[in-house]
Structure 1
Amino acid sequence: MGIEHSHHLDNPDATTPPPKVELVSSVPAPPVPDNAEAMTILVTVPPGSEGSPPHRHTGPAFGYVIRGEMIFELEGEPQRVVRAGETFWEPGGDVIHYQDGNNLPDAETVFVITMFGVAGQPMLIPVSAEELQERRERRAPRP
């Protein structure tokens, strides 16, 4: 996020303070599939839920945790906890998304995610147990 972004325009006719706009995340533009469809989804993960099974997406996804804590793990990266007010992203395509579970045993975790996927394709594509076994060396060591 080294580039400074300007998100405020002076309004000489304003009678109230301007909006407060903060850049919370920025990534270089990932490849977006041809015939892409953008969708924004609100996800509520029950207390202690493991979340979705390992899957992939047809295009990139950008998310923001509104409330709670999510355990997030992508192929080749160590799992990490993403807390309320923090962001996550994944490139989609061939990369396996291993975890998006709730890190809290007694509270919901809520996040919003914007995905750029192939129109008409499912937003979550399950990964088989056989493929997980074949690609096991690509998964980062787990705690």
Structure 2
Amino acid sequence: MTIDHSHHIEDPNATTPPPKFEVVGSVPTPPVPDPSEAMTLLVTLPPGSAGTPPHRHTGPAFGYVIQGEMIFELEGEPERVVRAGETFWEPGGDVIHYQDGNNLADAESRFVVTMFGVPGQPMLIPVSAEELEERRPRRAPRP
């Protein structure tokens, strides 16, 4: 079942064209911590940046690449390239976020991400080398 998410409200006093709304990503609502805090970040990855080391978040995160290309990998899923104009999301919680690096060696990549986390806890929780080794079977095969 598909729902039309387009939005248009007639404005008889408008002197310019109406705003354009385009759904670029949609996922069923994942569990959100209670209580929770929402934060929106603009992340700039320098050319060739490996991004952050493997980590997890206390809640879900939803993002949109505005420039360049990001290598994105979550536990149990193959790595993929997310390009400008595309979205990504992760459920947070116990799932390890392995990669969020710049796929371009000669240009910056930028993305906006909104995260729902537990107030007072870090937004990124590093994963130890020991835990990465223990959970290695959960990681998708590497290209």
Shorter-chain TM-score category? over 0.9
Normalised by the size of structure 2, how large is the TM-score?
A: 0.98
**SS of the residue 1:23 aligns to:** coil
Match of 2:36 in 1: 36
Q: Distance in 1 between matches of 2:93 and 2:22?
A: 29
Distance 1:89 1:71 in 2: 13
Give the deviation of 1:76 after TM superposition: 0.3
Q: What is the one-letter code of the residue matched to 2:6?
A: S
Runs of at least 4 residues of structure 1 off by over 6 A? none
Preserved contact between residue 6 and residue 21 of structure 2 (Cα < 8 Å): no
Identity of aligned residues (%): 83
In structure 2, stretches of 5+ residues that fail to align are none
Question: Which string of whole-angstrom CA distances, capped at 9 and with x for unpartnered residues, describes residues 115-139 of structure 1?
Answer: 0000110000000000001100000
Deviation at 1:15, TM superposition (A): 1.2
Q: Does 1:8 align with 2:15?
A: no
2:65 paired with 1:65: yes
Deviation at 1:48, TM superposition (A): 0.4
Unaligned runs of 5+ in 1: none
Aligned to 1:93: 93
- Who is 1:24 aligned against? 24
Amino acid at match of 2:89: W
2:46 aligned partner: 46
- Preserved CA contact (<8 Å) 2:78 2:140: yes
Q: Deviations over 1:74-132 (max 9, x none)?
A: 00000000000000000000000000000000000000000000011000000000000
TM-superposed deviation, 1:10: 1.1
Counterpart of 2:136 in structure 1 is 136
Distance 1:102 1:81 in 2: 9
Aligned length: 143
Return the alpha-carbon distance in structure 1 between the equivalents of residues 95 and 3 of structure 2.
27
Task: Give the match's secondary structure for 1:27.
Answer: coil
Aligned alpha-carbon RMSD (Å): 1.0
Residue 104 in structure 1 maps to residue 104 in structure 2: yes
Q: Give the C-alpha shift of residue 12 in structure 1.
A: 1.4
Deviation for aligned residue 1:14: 1.0
- Provide the C-alpha distance between the structure 1 equivalents of 2:138 and 2:19, rounded to a whole number of angstroms: 44
In structure 2, the residue matched to 1:80 is 80
Question: How far is 1:2 from its partner?
Answer: 2.9
Structure 2 Cα separation of the partners of residues 3 and 91 of structure 1: 23
Cα deviation digits, residues 1-53 of structure 1 (max 9, x gap): 93211321111121111001100000001100011000000000010010000
